Chains A and B, each alone.
Chain A
């Protein structure tokens, strides 16, 4: 399809393990965002890429979280030493240029459960 694709759709892991979540944005979209959404809450900003570089990573909660976008397309969110509090839906979004108008195209998310 032509939308934002996220894999895996569900991930169950044990506390302390390492996790990678992948996002494949809409072709041609230079801006890519990661958000985290807990039950009953709005999406919480994590990081924003413009091309290959992280333009704003102020939302990453601590140094266990890291994201890359080496070729300016696919992005991977990496979480080290997972904790139960990391359990949430991780949403990826892309846009043609950036958040100039706020119109982001979201994927369906990766649901992470840390046991």
Chain B
């Protein structure tokens, strides 16, 4: 299918290594910061979110870090697998309002 990753920054990682994807957000008033994964030809899929009063949250093989001082969000994926290859978007939301997506990063896992 057509790639959603065209023209996006690309991160290439060896299978089994850890991946770190970074994002700068714009609205300091957002309540939640979220990471979505999008595979080619599919809609975005929720991975993990973090509330604005937290600085770290862990899920299964994923960790999200939030640095409000510099408005920076990162997603760490442990032991990256070929199935992790996709485009990753950070997003922000709050107060039952719209979810605003940032720019994406294409993750390529090298077998």
Contact = CB atoms under 8 A, between A and B. Distances in A.
Interface in A76-103: 91, 93, 97-103
A7 interface: no
Contacts, number: 86
A74 to B, nearest CB: 17
A25 interface: no
Given A42-B103, A93-B43, A108-B41, A102 B7 contact: no
Interface of A: 4, 31, 33, 35, 37, 39-45, 48, 50, 55-56, 58-59, 91, 93, 97-109
20 contacts: A39-B7, A40-B5, A40-B8, A42-B101, A42-B103, A43-B89, A55-B96, A93-B43, A99-B95, A99-B96, A100-B93, A100-B96, A101-B49, A102-B32, A103-B34, A103-B46, A104-B44, A104-B99, A105-B46, A109-B42
